[in-house]
Amino acid sequence: EKADYIGIDLTREHAVAFTNALIEGYADYFSKLGCSKFDIGSDELLGWYTFELGGDVIDYDNRWTALEHWKSYARNTLGIEKGSARDVLVSYINDLAGRLEKKGYTCRVFNDEIDVNKSQHVELKDSIEVTYWFDADNTAAHFAEKGHTVHNFMESWCFYVLRSENGRDIMNGKYRTVNGRNIYENWNPRSFARKAGKSDTVPEDRLGGGYFAIWCDFPDYKGAGTVWAETEFKTWANASRMWNAEVN
């Protein structure tokens, strides 16, 4: 059942302080283990569900425009001319990245809430790397041109999700392209296009690498043995192509 839900309110000082303390605690812990990369994420800040705010019902499509107090915060507190809710998010990401960079981390964020439309006036720090998974708004080349290192995270090639959709395993539906043979024969890890034969490339010096993502949306949906059996050849094919994009 979908519940009323909203993410962290970045205009509330105590919420930001709590979030920073939580993240920095993990950053210190993993730094001691030798980790040097930190993925801030930032793509589902407001969630996917319908929620109520100020007596209004807010859905996924209008959730950003509904945050009038974020707009006021951007303009009156952050001093951003024509500031918007998205400016609050990007400003926070930049601040958090600065904190983590002082601890020796390189930071990464997902692309789908960054540079989406003209309501964003604050630029993402170019030291922040972009994990590119969704090609709806900007190309990977767009982020590379702005100085970001880009990592291939394309959902149509690199996602394994534990979830059913409309009574059907999502890996046999939306993500049916993510199979070992298709990855091995058709995926170009240098291209950030959704389909084979299409191209969205970045300069070699801006290509950071790639991922294979296992998303445990519903962790009890499948057992560990099933997950291993269904991802073994997917990850093998992904790694083979990443190691040598010309392999055949």
Angle between helices 13-32 and 85-101 (to 10 degrees): 30
pLDDT at 2 exceeding the cut of 60: no
> pTM above the 0.85 mark?
yes
Query: pLDDT band for position 52 (50/70/90)?
Result: confident
What does the alpha-carbon distance between residue 96 and residue 39 come to, in Å, rounded to a whole number? 11
Predicted local confidence at residue 147, as pLDDT: 96
Least confident of 13-17, 56-60, 124-128, 235-239: 56-60
Answer whether residue 203 shows pLDDT above 80: yes
Question: Where residue 163 falls among pLDDT bands split at 50, 70, 90?
Answer: very high
Distances (CA, A) of 141 to 74, 119, 137, 157: 28, 21, 12, 18
- With 90 as the cut, is the pLDDT of residue 138 above it? no
Reduced to 3 states (helix: H, G, I; strand: E, B; else coil), residue 209 is strand
Confidence (pLDDT) at 236: 96
Give yes or no for residue 3 having a pLDDT over 60: no
pLDDT at residue 47, as a whole number: 67
- Lowest mean pLDDT: which of 17-21, 114-118, 224-228? 114-118
How does pLDDT run across 80-127, given as a tens digit for each residue? Answer: 999 999 999 999 999 999 999 999 999 999 998 888 777 889 999 999
Q: What does the DSSP assignment read for 10-48?
A: TT-HHHHHHHHHHHHHHHHHHHHTT--EEEEE-TTTT-S
Q: How far is CA 42 from the centre of its chain?
A: 6
The yes-or-no verdict on residue 49 having pLDDT over 80 is no
Q: How confident is the model at residue 48 (pLDDT cuts 50, 70, 90)?
A: low
Q: Could you give the count of Cα atoms lying within 13 Å of 248 in the half-sphere of its Cβ?
A: 1
Cβ atoms of 207 and 150 closer than 8 Å: yes
Q: Which amino acid is at 87?
A: D
CA distance 29 to 170: 35
Give per-residue pLDDT as tens, 186-196. Answer: 999 999 988 87
> Percent of the chain, pLDDT > 90?
71
Q: What are phi and psi of 133, to 5 degrees?
A: -125, -15
